[in-house]
């Protein structure tokens, strides 16, 4: 590796590390604020928050790495242009094609890391988040349901227990009002009850004993009462958190192999697997975004006469927003069958690479983008 390459790498890697850390912190705070109703419950421990950070780290890195890398290119090389270091390098015969080698090498390494994360750590982490959140919800329900007090922190559910055992968490004389179906709300009265979760943590289960169910239909005068010796009411974790508190989507929790298997199962059922395959190729396309950013960002940084941090921030924001809009537009076309899913997943990268190639050619010929 030449001294120039090492110098360029240092100019890229230092701001890359700083901006990855900043973006990670920003994303975590934003996600944390979405789930404060759950994560700030009385039963949440520091260990729970540590596990949450560990589970969400791969997911946040998948978002932070491309943005931080584009910003590092524009600020790092832009700083060199502002200090006339690029002019000095060009006077020594170092052309734009040599300058793009270092960012492209870093981009390939980042893309390889992102492919590894999206295939292993990200699905593992998002699955762990679902299990952790369901566990925290269960502990909050157990810890926050106080004797003689209505508990209303679950979406569309109200709980009441006359007595709560501190030893086994069992409730006595339980009232549960379920308003998830607004047209036919349900009132459950039971002599005893307890809350648990499913084996995969996706569902809260309220096990009730010796009670009755009252259900009415608001559009009519129908009213029914059902007596039971034992009953179980299941509540999905996503539903119990409400829309603002959801952390993941189901497809993000699947590995590429599991997505391919889901597509094959959809074909076997006679269904169209396009949605599942589009999710797979969108993730692969996002993993290769740093390469497209390197090919576009480098000529933008070295070919502009205007430099400065404000310009770098603005160009990074605009570039990433444009990339996101293109990705979503092509993804929609792929889901609708107007584009092959393989092409739809990579087309945003192809557009950025082509624009970057044109910009690099203009910089090589004239020294600027003009």
pLDDT digits (tens, 9 = 90+) for 161-185: 988 887 777 889 999 888 888 788 8
**Residues 7, 127 within the same domain:** yes
**Residues 75, 209 within the same domain:** no
The CA distances from residue 79 to 34, 101, 264, 283, in Å, are 37, 18, 50, 32
CA-based nearest residue to 67, from 279, 286, 326:
286
**Residues 87, 110 within the same domain:** yes
Tell me if 203 is assigned to some domain.
yes
Task: Give the integer Cα–Cα distance in Å for 51 and 292.
Answer: 33
Q: Are 276 and 340 in contact (CB under 8 A)?
A: no
Task: Give the integer Cα–Cα distance in Å for 305 and 177.
Answer: 66
Backbone angles phi, psi at 35, to 5 degrees: -115, 25
Q: How many CB atoms lie within 10 A of CB 239?
A: 17
Tell me if 148 is assigned to some domain.
no
222 pLDDT band (50/70/90 cuts)?
A: confident
In sequence order, what are the beta bridge partners of 159?
151, 176
Tokens matching residue 54: 């560990």
Of 22-26, 74-78, 133-137, the one with minimum mean pLDDT is 133-137
Tell me if 143 is assigned to some domain.
no
Q: Are 293 and 73 in contact (CB under 8 A)?
A: yes
Which residue has tokens 């759950």?
38
Domain boundary among 241, 265, 298: 241
**Residues 235, 306 within the same domain:** no
Tell me if 146 is assigned to some domain.
no
Of 66-75, 231-240, 310-319, the one with minimum mean pLDDT is 231-240
**Residues 323, 261 within the same domain:** yes
Tell me if 183 is assigned to some domain.
yes
Contacts of 340 (CB under 8 A, 6+ apart): 334
Task: Give the integer Cα–Cα distance in Å for 61 and 285.
Answer: 15
Tell me if 189 is assigned to some domain.
yes
**Residues 64, 207 within the same domain:** no
**Residues 232, 254 within the same domain:** no
Query: What is the model's pLDDT at position 153?
Result: 72
How many domains is the chain built from?
Answer: 2
Contacts of 304 (CB under 8 A, 6+ apart): 78, 81, 311, 368, 369
Q: What spatial distance separates the first Cα and last Cα of the chain, rounded to whole Å?
A: 32
Query: What is the model's pLDDT at position 23?
Result: 92
Task: Give the integer Cα–Cα distance in Å for 231 and 14.
Answer: 59
Q: Is the pLDDT of residue 116 over 80?
A: yes
Task: Give the integer Cα–Cα distance in Å for 185 and 191.
Answer: 20
Task: Give the integer Cα–Cα distance in Å for 50 and 94.
Answer: 47
Alpha helices in 83-200 (DSSP H): 85-91, 96-99, 101-116, 122-144
**Residues 57, 126 within the same domain:** yes
Q: Is the alpha carbon torsion for 66, 69, 73, 79 positive or negative?
A: positive
Domain boundary among 241, 262, 285: 241
152 pLDDT band (50/70/90 cuts)?
A: confident
368 pLDDT band (50/70/90 cuts)?
A: low
CB-based burial, 315-334: b 16+ in 10 Å, e otherwise: bbeebbeebeebbeebbebb
Q: Are 206 and 186 in contact (CB under 8 A)?
A: no
Query: What is the model's pLDDT at position 346?
Result: 95
C-alpha of 300 from chain center: 29
**Residues 198, 222 within the same domain:** yes
Contacts of 151 (CB under 8 A, 6+ apart): 141, 144, 145, 158, 159, 160
**Residues 180, 311 within the same domain:** no
Tell me if 150 is assigned to some domain.
no
| Greatest Cα pair distance in the chain | 89
The average pLDDT across 185-193 equals 91
The structure's pTM equals: 0.75
**Residues 227, 269 within the same domain:** no
The average pLDDT across 277-303 equals 91
Mean model confidence pLDDT for the chain: 83
Q: Is the pLDDT of residue 107 over 50?
A: yes
**Residues 17, 112 within the same domain:** yes
Tell me if 144 is assigned to some domain.
no
Give the range of the structural domain holding residue 105, as residue numbers without chain letter.
3-137+248-366
239 pLDDT band (50/70/90 cuts)?
A: very low
Query: What is the model's pLDDT at position 66?
Result: 94
What whole-number percentage of the chain has pLDDT above 70?
Answer: 84
Task: Give the integer Cα–Cα distance in Å for 37 and 23.
Answer: 23
Of 6-20, 33-47, 212-226, 325-339, the one with minimum mean pLDDT is 33-47
Domain boundary among 204, 222, 241: 241
């Amino acid at each position: 590796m030449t001294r120039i390459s090492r110098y360029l790498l240092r100019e890229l890697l230092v701001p890359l590390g700083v901006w990855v850390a900043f973006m990670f912190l920003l994303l975590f705070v934003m996600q944390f604020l979405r789930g404060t109703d759950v994560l700030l419950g009385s039963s949440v421990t520091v260990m729970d928050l540590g596990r949450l950070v560990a589970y969400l780290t791969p997911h946040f890195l998948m978002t932070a790495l491309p943005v931080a890398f584009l910003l590092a290119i524009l600020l790092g090389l832009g700083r060199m242009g502002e200090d006339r270091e690029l002019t000095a390098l060009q006077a020594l015969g170092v052309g734009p094609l040599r300058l793009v080698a270092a960012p492209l090498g870093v981009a390939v390494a980042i893309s390889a890391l992102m492919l590894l994360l999206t295939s292993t750590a990200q699905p593992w982490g998002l699955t762990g988040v679902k299990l952790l959140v369901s566990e925290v919800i269960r502990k909050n329900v157990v810890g926050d349901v106080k004797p003689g007090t209505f508990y209303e922190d679950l979406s569309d559910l109200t709980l009441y227990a006359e007595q709560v055992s501190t030893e086994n968490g069992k409730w006595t004389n339980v009232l549960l009002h379920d308003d998830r179906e607004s047209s036919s709300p349900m009132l459950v009265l039971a002599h005893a009850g307890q809350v648990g979760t499913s084996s995969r943590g996706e569902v809260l289960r309220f096990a009730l004993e010796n009670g009755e169910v009252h259900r009415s239909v608001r559009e009519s005068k129908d009213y029914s009462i059902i007596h039971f010796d034992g009953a179980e009411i299941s509540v999905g974790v996503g539903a119990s958190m409400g829309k603002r508190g959801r952390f993941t989507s189901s497809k993000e929790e699947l590995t590429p192999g599991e997505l391919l298997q889901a597509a094959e199962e959809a074909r076997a059922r006679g269904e169209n697997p396009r949605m599942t395959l589009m999710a797979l190729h969108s993730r692969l396309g996002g993993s290769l975004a740093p390469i497209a950013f390197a090919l576009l960002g480098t000529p933008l940084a070295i070919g502009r006469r205007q430099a400065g941090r404000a310009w770098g921030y603005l160009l990074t924001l605009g570039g990433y927003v444009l990339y996101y809009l293109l990705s979503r537009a092509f993804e929609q076309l792929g889901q609708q069958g107007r584009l092959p899913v393989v092409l739809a997943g990579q087309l945003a990268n192809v557009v950025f690479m082509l624009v970057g190639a044109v910009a690099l050619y203009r910089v090589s010929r004239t020294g600027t983008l003009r």
